[in-house]
Structure 1
Amino acid sequence: MSTPQEHEHLAAAVEQVQKEHEMRDTVTDDVFFPNRSADGSTNTARTESHYFRETKRKGHAMGLRCAISGQKDGIQYHHLFIEWALSGAVDWVTVKGVAIGNIKELPVLDPDTGQPTDETFPAEQSYLWLICKIVELRGFDWRAFDPADPAQFVDDLAQMLPLHANFHTAKAHGVHHHSGPMWGFLAFPRIPGFVYTPDELAAIKLHLEGDHEPAKEKP
């Protein structure tokens, strides 16, 4: 049973959804993964690194909550900027060079082939530079980073986002099933009653039905 305030929020959501319209799209990833892991091994089956185990231990010890919902149970750790499966395709020497300021220019990429041209542009205008600064602000030490051991960064807590499973891998709300701008909405506070997905509406109606059921007498 919902509290009176929770019931009020649920009822407002049912009314609010009448002012919304549904947008449905399909997001498909079609990319190549390297056949070698970042350490050069041909064994690309994912096993947890000691860095990842330490990240989870540290996160649990800190009592980190889901960055979207604030839930404290069912927490998983999402690789925020780069997936482990693609770490073997990254030039980590260049990444460190940009991060510590030794590399000031990056090649301009051909928009169709993705390959470098003869032109360059300022590294500080790149998304890579922004990523490097964000994780640095979160405590990652780029000067201590060894490019030969990329898991040191990929599996570090500074490169993780604690998420409840529903916002990590679940189809309706999971970051792995939405485009960036769509999923990013979940980080922002909603106007009262706004319903984001059809499954939320179904859950709201189910809760309201439960609120209307007569309370069962205790034996």
Structure 2
Amino acid sequence: MTKAQDTHETHRTLTEDVFYPGHEPRTESAIFRASKREMKKEGGYVCAVCGDEESVESHHRFFEWAYSHAIDFAWIRGVALNQVDTMWSHKLQRVVPIPKKHPIWDLIRLTQGFDWEAFDPAKPETFVDSVYNQLPLCELHHRGKGHGRHEESDPVWNVQAFLVKGFVYSPDELKQLHQEHS
């Protein structure tokens, strides 16, 4: 069992250097607005990390809208419909079998109910802006420094929804804890 005194702070700087395809300025599509309405109607429009109902925003779970026209949605549809079992490897520059632990399997499993048969890859917004690609998050867990999905790596960010009561996750929480006890 790890002792509380063994807890230590890790500080890393996440740097991204990637290209986004050209795209129009982001506006909320009718599909995106309908998806938010549907989640609200079903009572599911609360932060997926902390359950907060205030300042909830929709995070594009699998694919950001800006990448809509850079993703091979025809391939994804083919995999979802069990028509394709290979993938293009950018690193190897050839077609390879889809690895058993490829993230495509998580996408397919977590989008059960999405109509991949009717999906038109030429209209990626019908998936990208659907409830199947939305993760409701409060402002802190979406874009907040030291907590936000856009600020931290997957394995670090994900733990926030599973922490034991009393565990201090980040320096801002430690500061708040000290302020409450002084």
- Compute the TM-score of the two structures, normalised by the length of structure 2: 0.89
8 Å contact kept, 1:169–1:177 = yes
Q: Cα distance, 1:123 vs. partner?
A: 6.3
C-alpha change, 1:151 and 1:123, in structure 2 (3 Å) is farther
Decide whether the 8 Å contact of 1:104 with 1:123 is kept in 2. no
Of the three residues 21, 30, 48, the one matched with 2:28 is 48
- 177-186 or 52-61: which moved more? 52-61
In structure 1, the gaps of 5 or more residues are 1-15, 38-43, 210-219
Contact 1:55/1:157 (8 A) holds in 2 = yes
**Greater relative contact order (Cα 8 A, min sep 6): structure 1 or 2?**
1
Q: 1:159 aligns with which of 119, 122, 133?
A: 133
CA distance in 2 between partners of 1:189 and 1:140 (Å): 31
On the 8 A contact 1:169/1:175 being kept in 2, the answer is: yes
CA-CA distance at 1:124 after TM superposition: 5.2
Higher-Rg member (1/2): 1
Please give the residue correspondences for 1:24-103 in structure 2 after superposition, counting only pairs within 5 Å.
24-35=11-22, 37=23, 44-64=24-44, 65-103=46-84
Helix, strand or coil at the partner of 2:96: strand
Q: Give identity over the alignment, percent.
A: 38
Tell me which amino acid in the other structure corresponds to 2:26. R
Say whether 1:131 aligns with 2:107: yes
Matched to 1:146, the amino acid is: D
| Counterparts in 2 of 1:67 and 1:180: CA distance versus 1, 3 Å | same
> C-alpha distance in 1, partners of 2:54/2:39?
12
Q: Distance in 1 between matches of 2:10 and 2:99?
A: 37
Q: Deviations over 1:91-144 (max 9, x none)?
A: 211111111111122234426xxxx32x421365532233122112xx312112
Verify: 1:23 aligned to 2:10, yes or no: yes
Q: Distance in 2 between matches of 1:122 and 1:32?
A: 25
**Alpha-carbon distance in 1 for matches of 2:99, 2:75:** 11
SS of residue paired to 2:31: helix
Count, aligned residues: 178
Secondary structure of 1:78's counterpart equals strand
- Residues 69-109 of structure 1, C-alpha deviations (whole Å, 9 max, x = no match): 01112111111111011111112111111111111222344
For each residue in 1:22-56, what CA deviation from the matched residue of structure 2 results, as whole angstroms up to 9, or x when unmatched? 11000011100111x4xxxxxx2111111110111
- Which runs of 5 or more structure 2 residues have no equivalent in the other structure? none
TM normalised by structure 1 equals 0.75
Question: For the aligned residues, what is the CA RMSD?
Answer: 1.8
The one-letter code of the counterpart of 2:115 is D
Of 195, 208, 212 in structure 1, the residue corresponding to residue 181 of structure 2 is 208
